[in-house]
Every structure is written in structure tokens, then in C-alpha cells.
């Protein structure tokens, strides 16, 4: 593999710039990837794919794509669009099929989270990326928050000392994303809030802690709202309840997991789509030998905030670091492209995302079997 100084990358035996990008999925997440590619001078968004006719045509017009750049199916787009990179923003069960087809064609892949509906499919994606020697990345956009980036720098610089315990969670008062839709079908989504939003918190916690290896998981899951048609998100479509008042709901609506990590550290993780709490929460709390940190603001779930608890000259102190901007999907795309343009793709084959999938799988297995699951 070779890269020229203008940003072109060897793909299919050629070196070129701009890179040719395609996006599968026409929803909100897919549009974030389209925006990010369109803003890059060294990337040309040349194709989008999705089954919905009206959004496909409208987005094609918005991004200046000719009819030849609009596809219903991902397979024909991969075969015809001559891509270098592709983003996958589809229901979870389609992540693996799209990624495997793209990698087999020599195309680098950026997938929305989670990696796949289970670790077995995720492992197949990682193996395909290694075999093809192409980048496989997952858009964990929340680790690009300003507070996460600031806290990561503090941890890496040793300001908190040894991180021996962490708590992380994303809890909603009412926010099941589409009662009865693919989000609540196990075969399509792989799981409920642990798979959907909990994996973000798992990623943030492991990222901040320095990627300790998960050794064992003990978890419980509950479904107290969804099966009764309660807890739906007001801005997502909902399938009407049947005569018995229920809707298709095959996953959990709350999960909690205790994860034992290498070096003796532990992580308490929780995620819910619906629960009787005062307000939505998104938080990470780190306990360190030289200091602690609280990320997030209870009651204002998406507001960046970071409190650092420490001592100064023997006096307890609380610091409020100045935070940079949130990078979100745009920064995730930029990070993916930086990997594509790197001189060596080893280590960029989706290994980190697979570690998250293994923990999630172990958590669901632990909840089902009501015992701790070891990962070593």
C-alpha cells in the first residue's frame, strides 16, 4: 500500500485523490457521514444506497450526485461505484453483510456502532479486514465529545493516577427507539439498550481507562416497559399495540453489568431506554489513586461537562477544565480517513470494536444463565 502526499491511497492497484466514498443508509446517521465526506477536499462522495426512494432522490440532489450514483442495494453500489471507502449506517444486522462485501472488494469500511449483532459476526468482520488488509473502523462518535477528549488527556498524563474503578451509564426516562420496529427485534438489533446506547458508554469507559482487557462479566437485564407498549420515544415511529395491548418487543429495556478488568480494575455499566428516573442521564465516573473525575451532567444528558476531584498542596480541590468542541460523527469520519491514509493498516482491522462486542455478548449470556461469564 502507498499513499501520495495529496491524500490519495492505493486502492485496487491505483493511487488517487480524492478518495471515492459511498454511504449505505439514508437515515440521520448516514446523513452525518455524507456531510463529513462532503466537507473533505480530499474525498468525493460519489454514491449512496438505501431502499427508500424519496429520501434517496432528495439526498442525491442535496449532494449533487447523478442518477448513476444512487442505488437501492449496497451490493450493486459496491460492484459499480468504484469505491475506496464506505460508511455503513444500516440496522445492526446488516453491518456484517455490507462490511464483508465491501472488504472482499478491497474497500475500507466505517460502520456505525455496534460492530455487529453479536461477537461471532463481528469476529468474521475483523478476520475479513485482516485477510483483505483493509481498514475496519466503528463510529463511536461519543468518544469525540469535548469532555471525553479532555478527560482522556488528563488520564494519559497521569493526573488521576491509577484508574481502579469506573461507573458509566446512559439512562432514559422514556426513549425506546421505535417500539415494534427493528430496534426491538433481537434478530435485527442484537439486543436492547446495552447494544444500542450502552455500547457507547462501554467504549467511552474502556477508552478513558486505557483499554484494560475485560476478564469477566456479571449482568442482569429487564424488560418492564417495552412488552407493555410503554416507554416509546416521542420522535420515533411505533407499531400500534395488538388486541392484547402488546407490541413486538424481544429485547431488554434496562441492563446492568459488572465487568472485571485486567490489573484488578472494575467497571459498573448500566443502560436503559425506559425507567422511572427524574431525567435522562449520561455519565462516566472515574476513581483514581491521585484524583477522580465526573463526566456529564445529570438531568442534561447531552451537555458536555467535566469535574476533576483532586488535591492541591494537601487541600481538597475541584477543577473544571476548559473543554474543546465536540467532534461527533465528523471527527469519527476524519479519524477513519486518517487510518486509511496511514502507511500501515495493521492494528486498524476493528480489534477494539470486537472487544466491546465480546463484553456485550458476555453480558447477555450472563443475564440469561444468571452467572458470571469469564472471557479469558
- Output the DSSP codes for 276-337: S-SS-EEEEEEEESS-EEEES-TT-TT---EEEEEEETTEEEEE-PPP----HHHHHHHHHH
The two beta strands, 266-272 and 254-261, are antiparallel
Please name the fold of domain 146-326: Dihydrodipicolinate Reductase; domain 2 (3.30.360)
Q: Which three cell numbers stand for residue 185?
A: 427485534
C-alpha radius of gyration, the chain, whole number = 21
The CA angle 240-241-246, to the nearest 5 degrees, is 150
CA angle 284, 167, 297 (to 5 degrees): 35
**CATH number for the 9-141+333-348 domain, one of 1.10.287.3510, 3.90.1300.10, 3.40.50.720, 1.25.40.10?**
3.40.50.720
Task: List beta partners, residue 308.
Answer: 293, 319
Rounded to a whole number, what is the distance in angstroms from the first to the last CA of the chain? 35
**3-state DSSP assignment of residue 232:** strand
pLDDT at 5 over 50: no
Q: 301 falls in which pLDDT band (50, 70, 90)?
A: low
How far from chain centre, in Å, is Cα 161? Answer: 28
Cross-strand bridge partners of residue 258? 218, 268
Q: Which residue intervals of the chain bear CATH 3.30.360.10?
A: 146-326
Task: Enumerate the CATH 3.40.50.720 domain ranges in the chain, comma separated.
Answer: 9-141+333-348
Decide if pLDDT at 354 tops 80.
Answer: yes
- The pTM for the full model equals 0.92
Residue 43 CA neighbour count, 13 Å, CB half:
26
CA–CA separation, 15 and 9 (whole Å): 5
Q: Is the pLDDT of residue 270 over 80?
A: yes
Bridge partners (DSSP) of residue 374 are 216
Confidence band, pLDDT 50/70/90 cuts, at residue 331: very high
Amino acid at each position: 500500500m502507498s499513499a501520495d502526499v495529496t491524500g490519495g491511497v492505493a486502492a485496487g492497484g491505483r493511487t488517487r485523490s480524492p478518495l471515492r466514498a459511498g454511504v449505505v443508509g439514508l437515515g440521520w446517521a448516514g446523513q452525518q457521514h455524507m456531510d463529513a465526506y462532503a466537507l473533505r477536499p480530499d474525498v468525493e462522495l460519489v454514491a449512496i444506497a438505501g431502499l427508500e426512494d424519496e429520501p434517496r432522490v432528495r439526498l442525491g440532489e442535496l449532494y449533487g450526485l447523478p442518477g448513476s450514483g444512487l442505488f437501492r442495494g449496497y451490493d450493486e453500489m459496491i460492484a459499480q461505484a468504484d469505491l475506496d471507502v464506505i460508511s455503513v449506517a444500516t440496522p445492526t444486522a446488516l453491518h456484517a453483510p455490507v462490511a464483508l462485501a465491501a472488504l472482499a472488494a478491497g474497500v475500507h469500511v466505517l460502520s456505525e456502532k455496534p460492530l455487529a449483532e453479536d461477537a461471532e459476526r463481528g469476529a468474521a468482520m475483523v478476520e475479513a479486514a485482516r485477510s483483505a488488509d483493509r481498514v475496519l473502523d466503528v463510529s463511536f462518535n461519543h468518544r469525540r465529545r469535548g469532555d471525553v477528549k479532555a478527560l482522556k488527556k488528563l488520564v494519559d498524563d497521569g493526573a488521576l493516577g491509577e484508574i481502579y474503578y469506573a461507573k458509566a451509564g446512559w439512562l432514559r426516562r422514556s426513549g425506546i427507539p421505535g417500539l415494534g420496529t427493528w430496534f426491538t427485534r433481537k434478530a435485527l438489533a442484537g439486543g436492547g439498550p446495552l447494544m444500542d446506547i450502552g455500547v457507547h458508554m462501554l467504549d467511552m469507559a474502556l477508552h478513558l481507562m486505557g483499554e484494560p482487557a475485560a476478564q469477566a462479566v456479571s449482568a442482569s437485564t429487564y424488560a418492564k416497559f417495552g412488552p407493555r407498549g410503554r416507554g416509546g420515544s416521542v420522535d420515533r415511529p411505533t407499531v400500534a399495540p395488538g388486541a392484547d395491548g402488546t407490541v413486538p418487543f424481544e429485547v431488554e429495556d434496562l441492563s446492568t453489568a459488572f465487568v472485571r478488568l485486567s490489573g484488578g480494575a472494575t467497571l459498573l455499566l448500566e443502560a436503559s431506554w425506559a425507567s422511572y428516573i427524574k431525567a435522562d442521564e449520561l455519565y462516566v465516573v472515574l476513581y483514581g489513586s491521585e484524583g477522580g473525575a465526573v463526566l456529564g451532567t445529570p438531568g442534561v444528558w447531552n451537555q458536555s461537562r467535566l469535574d476533576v476531584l483532586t488535591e492541591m498542596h494537601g487541600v481538597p480541590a475541584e477543577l473544571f477544565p476548559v473543554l474543546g468542541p465536540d467532534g461527533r460523527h465528523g471527527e469519527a469520519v476524519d479519524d477513519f480517513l486518517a487510518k486509511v491514509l496511514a502507511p500501515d493498516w495493521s492494528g486498524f482491522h476493528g480489534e477494539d470494536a470486537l472487544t466491546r462486542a465480546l463484553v456485550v455478548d458476555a453480558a447477555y449470556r450472563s443475564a440469561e444463565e444468571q452467572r458470571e461469564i469469564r472471557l479469558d
